[in-house]
Amino acid sequence: MSKTIQQAGPRIRESYKRAQEAMQKNNADYAVDLFLTVLELEPELDDVRKELRELQIQEAQGHKTNHSITSLKGMGKTMAVKKAIKKDPEKALVEAEALLKLDVLNPAFLELYCEAATAAKQPSAAAVTLAEALKVDRKNDKLLEKLGHLYIAMGDAHRARQTFEKLESLRPNDQRVIKWIKDTSAMDTMNKGGWEQEGDFRGKLKDESETIGLEQEGRSQRSVSDLEKMIITQRQKLEQEPDNLNLYRPLADSLVKAEQFDEALEVLTKADEKANHADPMIQRSIANVTVQIYDHNIKVLKEQGDEEGVKAQEAERHSFLLEDAADKVARYPNDLGFKFDYGKLLYQNGDLDKAIGQFQQAQRNPQRRIDALYFMGSCFKAKKQYDIAATQLQKAAEELPSLDDKKMSILYELGEVLEAQGKLEKALEYFKQIYAVDIGYRDVANKIEAGYQRQRDKDEE
């Protein structure tokens, strides 16, 4: 079961705090080592593992890595992991982390890491790792397939189905993938309690997946019961130890899963008061639950066709996020992640100068640097200060070695800035880079055709 950093011991929390400080100082190597220390002591901290992967991938994208060379360098460690998987799975997982430290996006290392994590009964560690890697290596069908089956093993049919749907776009005629989507869709529907309306489950699955489906149905019924029992147990513990702050957030998390948002918010508000309004983790949770309440209200109003109500709730939601972000920046001035979030909201609100100020500081965080540069460029573009915008966007593009979705959005924005400056041929060079990879990206095909038409017109003259 996944744990939060607040549920960990003081030694682990202290190491985590130092890792955060190291990131703010751009000392990525030291931060990685501290994260690894935390996870070796408490491997079930999935949120920490996600932070580690984001940082490692951010660093990996800053320079070109030859997977063949890193595979050779890691050969000895690879053999050690394979041996340890059978004899000492926990040790194998620690050794596998060392491979990812060498090359976090090496497909062979990722597959071996998943094998070690599964053997160590930590499938969520593998799932978190693959999910982050696939944000960069989006077309790796082997990793997508592995991630889908990991989600099934974890009982998360919804994310399994979403993963297999992505896999289908890469293997459109693979009957196995189609079957996996069908099976996980059935499981997902059952988990949402929809089978009572849709008919008998046995009558819906006539193929060999029927037995698996029935087992999943039983697990689904138990999971609902388990959640209710967990909430009762957590309430009782909290009543017995009302001063134990570690008991509030787990109860709130369970209440959110049960869609009991108001009570979850009440529990977190009490925790915030107990903590003298000084615990950022509790305050993050309060903000998250509040946003979920707005989202729930908006969904209901949309279903009712109440457009005015939807607009009012969306406006309130935006105002809340803006005020909450401003408050977090004031309370925690050294947290660069909060500055980035506040900057995005200011940008969306059209407050460009304030947004630029937040992004200028947020770029010191290695996890936020490229995004901060991109948004700074967008702000200067909106201010029609195109030369400064181009400088920021060029910096962001240079720090991304591979032409993924993020880099394409940066190059597109850069192309538009250059167009606005009248540098049409230079802009066309950036649009061509996108066009060569994704012909359907936004209106880049039209921009390319317009460029060629200009050239034809010149030739005719």
Q: Which amino acid is at 372?
A: A
Contacts of 370 (CB under 8 A, 6+ apart): 58, 396, 399, 400, 406, 410
pLDDT at 191: 61
Position 340 confidence tier, pLDDT thresholds 50, 70, 90? very high
pLDDT at 217: 42
Cα 338–45–100 angle (5° rounding)? 90
Residue-range definition of the domain harbouring residue 455:
367-461
Last-in-domain residue among 197, 220, 249? 249
One-letter amino acid of 45: L
Q: What mean pLDDT is predicted for residues 193-210?
A: 38
Return the exposure string of 387-416: e unless at least 16 CB atoms fall within 10 Å of the residue's CB, then b: ebbbbbbbbbbebbeeeeebbbbbbbbbbb
Q: Is the pLDDT of residue 350 over 90?
A: yes
Residue 97 half-sphere exposure toward CB, CA atoms < 13 A: 21
- Looking at the structure, do residues 243 and 371 belong to the same domain, yes or no? no
For 393-408, the pLDDT digits (tens) are 999 999 998 899 999 9
Closest CA to 56 of 94, 92, 23, 12: 23
Three-state SS string over 286-298 comes to HHHHHHHHHHHHH
Q: Which residue, among 198, 195, 251, 252, has the nearest Cα to 220 in the 3D structure?
A: 195
Is 268 within the bounds of a domain?
A: no
Between the two ends of the chain, the Cα-to-Cα distance in Å is: 71
The whole-angstrom separation of Cα 149 and Cα 236 is 36
Assess if residue 169 is contained within a domain: yes
Residue 38, domain member (yes or no): yes
Please indicate, yes or no, if residue 327 is contained in any of the structural domains: no
Amino acid letter for position 14? E
Q: Which of 94-108, 187-201, 223-237, 413-427 has the lowest mean pLDDT?
A: 187-201
Does the model's pTM come out above 0.75?
no
> Phi and psi at residue 375, in whole multiples of 5°?
-70, -35
Contacts of range 381-390, beta carbons closer than 8 Å, 24 or more positions apart: 381/413, 381/416, 381/417, 381/420, 382/350, 382/352, 383/352, 384/420, 386/417, 386/418, 386/420, 386/421, 387/421, 389/417, 390/414, 390/417, 390/418, 390/421
- Tell me which of 200, 228, 249 is where a domain ends: 249
Say if residue 419's pLDDT is above 90: yes
> Does 57 map to a domain?
yes
In-domain check, residue 302: no
- pLDDT (average), residues 49-67: 85
Most confident of 10-19, 33-42, 428-437: 428-437
Is 417 a residue whose pLDDT tops 90?
yes
**Do 381 and 240 share a structural domain?**
no
pLDDT of amino acid 110: 92
pLDDT at residue 401 in the model: 87
The answer to whether residues 245 and 377 belong to one domain is no
* CA dist., res. 141 & res. 144, Å (int): 5
Total domain count, the chain: 2
Residue with the two structure tokens 């606005």: 420
Task: Specify the higher pLDDT residue, 357 or 332.
Answer: 357
pLDDT tier for residue 256 given thresholds of 50, 70 and 90: confident
pLDDT at 389: 96
| Mean pLDDT, residues 97-107 taken together | 89
pLDDT tens string 139-193: 889 899 999 999 888 888 889 999 999 999 898 888 888 889 988 887 776 665 5
Residue 227 near residue 191, CB atoms below 8 Å: no
Same domain, 241 and 371: no
Measure the CA–CA gap between 15 and 11, rounded to whole angstroms: 6
- Distance, CA of 111 to CA of 305 (rounded, Å): 47
Q: For residue 219, what are the contacts with CB-CB under 8 A and spacing of at least 6?
A: 155
Q: What is the mean pLDDT of residues 53-57?
A: 90
Q: Are 46 and 83 in contact (CB under 8 A)?
A: no
pLDDT of residue 233: 86
Residue 331 counted as domain residue: no
Contacts of 425 (CB under 8 A, 6+ apart): 451
CB 242 within 8 A of CB 235: no
268-295 confidence digits (pLDDT tens):
988 988 888 878 788 888 888 888 888 8
Of 203, 223, 249, the position where a domain reaches its end is: 249
Q: Which two tokens stand for residue 377?
A: 């460029």
Q: What 8-state DSSP symbol labels residue 423?
A: -
- Give the chain's mean pLDDT: 85
R_g over Cα of the chain: 25
Over residues 355-394, the pLDDT tens digits come to 999 999 999 999 899 999 999 999 999 999 999 999 999 9
CATH number of the domain to which 408 belongs = 1.25.40.10
Amino acid 226 reads: D
Give yes or no: residues 230 and 371 share one domain. Answer: no
Structure tokens at 288: 């998250």
Question: Would you say residue 386 lies in a domain?
Answer: yes
pLDDT at 24: 86
Three-class SS state of 249 = helix
| pLDDT score, position 461 | 67
